[in-house]
């Protein structure tokens, strides 16, 4: 199911995915969450990295509250599971996703950002979980993903007290890995996506699919998963040619930034 509220543009190996419902601050309706799922499921095989952006002054205002009808427990369960399925296609889709954050990154918008692999925020970004004050709970995977970014105590505080983190605090506590001047999040995210797209595909696969699983495994299983993934990655012809390039003086050296 495609949604008119999400747009896809291809720039070589980088896909630019844009939430396109600025009049509603990119609030996520059922149609839009299904549109996100379908778009990520059907990304062309040539895509090596994705930039996720939002049109207008805000990245995303979260769940479309106008659709929050009286649901029975079963309806609520299935609604939340629909979000989970959609955001799984973002996290475990074909390519790493770099979110370009500005303005409101709130509620389900923050849950969407948390499913991405790198978050770049500009100085206008702010983070909030208004579910606490609306009498509801997160339902888009936030209870799992957000504590992994900022810790459970900070997430609970946000929901108990309505605390809003500004862009600087957000970078300090771990919402975003990059903080850039106002208006520059998209350009920075695109620059990073181009770099990510140039990695060996198996390295990106390991970072997307092995690393988060290893984080959940007991250490002895994690070490084994790491070793298996390392063995597979280094056996690829691409790894061999990249290492040979370095040893023969053609590969880039590591430089201080
Ligand atoms: C919306 C939504 C929305 C805006 N659902 N319509 N999320 C929230 O509780 C956040 C609610 N939104 C806000 O706090 C503010 O709108 C913003 C800080 C994001 C932006 O403020 P502003 O002044 O730029 O815009 P606005 O005037 O508040 O909104 C413009 C329009 O968008 C307006 O509609 P209009 O028809 O009067 O023009 C708003 O009603 C509409 N709008 N946000 C529906 N969220 C998987 S579970 C996840 C659970 C959650 O995400 S709960 C948190 C929901």
pLDDT in tens, 207-223: 999 999 999 999 999 99
Tell me what pLDDT residue 71 has. 80
Report the share of the chain in percent with pLDDT over 70: 100
Q: What pLDDT, in 10s, does the model give residues 35-89?
A: 999 999 999 999 999 999 999 999 999 999 998 877 889 989 999 999 999 999 9
Q: Is residue 1 very low, low, confident or very high in pLDDT (cuts 50, 70, 90)?
A: low
Would residue 41 show up in a list of annotated catalytic residues for this protein? no
Choice among 41, 111, 226, 238 that is catalytic: 111
Report the share of the chain in percent with pLDDT over 90: 89
Whether the per-residue pLDDT at 182 is higher than 90: the answer is yes
CATH topology classification for 6-197: 2-enoyl-CoA Hydratase; Chain A, domain 1 (3.90.226)
- Please name the residue whose Cα sits nearest to atom 48 of ligand 1: 108
- Please name the residue whose Cα sits nearest to atom 5 of ligand 1: 64
Choice among 9, 57, 88, 131 that is catalytic: 131
- Please name the residue whose Cα sits nearest to atom 39 of ligand 1: 24
**Do the first three CATH levels of 6-197 and 201-247 match, i.e. the same topology?**
no
Position in ligand 1 atom list of the atom nearest CA 129: 53
Q: How far is the CA of 62 from the centre of ligand 1 (A)?
A: 7
Q: Where are the domains of the chain?
A: 6-197, 201-247
Question: Mean pLDDT in the chain?
Answer: 96
Q: Which residues line ligand 1 (CB under 6 A)?
A: 24-25, 27, 57-58, 61-66, 83, 104, 106-108, 130-131, 134, 138-140
Q: What's the rounded mean pLDDT across residues 82-108?
A: 98
Would residue 131 show up in a list of annotated catalytic residues for this protein? yes
Q: How far is the CA of 110 from the centre of ligand 1 (A)?
A: 13
Does residue 119 contact residue 99 with C-beta atoms inside 8 Å? yes
Handedness of CA 207, 209, 214, 215 (dihedral sign): positive
Q: How is domain 201-247 classified at the architecture level of CATH?
A: Orthogonal Bundle (1.10)
Q: How far is the CA of 56 from the centre of ligand 1 (A)?
A: 13
Tell me which of 53-62, 87-96, 139-148, 231-240 is least confident.
231-240
Q: What pLDDT, in 10s, does the model give residues 110-124?
A: 999 999 999 999 999
Q: How far is the CA of 155 from the centre of ligand 1 (A)?
A: 21
Tell me what pLDDT residue 70 has. 74
Q: What's the rounded mean pLDDT across residues 241-245?
A: 90
Tell me what pLDDT residue 68 has. 84
Tell me what pLDDT residue 180 has. 98
Pocket test for ligand 1, best of 25, 109, 134 (most atoms within 8 A of CB): 25
Q: How far is the CA of 83 from the centre of ligand 1 (A)?
A: 18
């Amino acid at each position: 199911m495609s949604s008119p509220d999400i747009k896809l543009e291809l720039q070589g190996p980088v896909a630019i995915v844009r939430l396109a419902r600025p009049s509603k601050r990119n609030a996520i309706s059922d149609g839009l969450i299904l549109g996100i799922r379908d778009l990520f499921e059907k990304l062309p095989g040539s895509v090596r990295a994705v930039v996720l952006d939002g049109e207008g002054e805000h990245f995303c205002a979260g769940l479309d509250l106008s659709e929050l009808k009286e649901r029975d427990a079963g309806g609520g369960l299935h609604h939340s599971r629909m979000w989970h399925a959609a955001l799984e296609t973002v996290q475990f889709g074909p390519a790493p996703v770099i979110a370009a954050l500005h303005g409101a990154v709130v509620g389900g918008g923050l849950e969407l950002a948390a499913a991405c692999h790198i978050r770049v925020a500009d100085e206008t970004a702010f983070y909030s979980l208004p579910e606490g004050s609306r009498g509801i709970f997160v339902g888009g995977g936030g209870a799992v993903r957000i504590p992994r970014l900022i810790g459970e105590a900070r997430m609970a505080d946000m929901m108990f007290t309505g605390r809003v983190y500004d862009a600087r605090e957000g970078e300090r506590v771990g919402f975003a890995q990059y903080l850039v001047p106002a208006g520059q999040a998209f350009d920075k995210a695109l620059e990073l996506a181009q770099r990510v797209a140039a990695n060996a595909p198996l390295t990106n696969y390991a970072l997307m699919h092995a690393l988060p699983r290893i984080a959940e495994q007991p250490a002895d299983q994690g070490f084994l998963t790491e070793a298996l993934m390392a063995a597979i990655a280094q056996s690829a012809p691409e790894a061999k040619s990249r290492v040979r390039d370095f040893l023969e003086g053609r590969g880039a050296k590591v430089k201080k930034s």
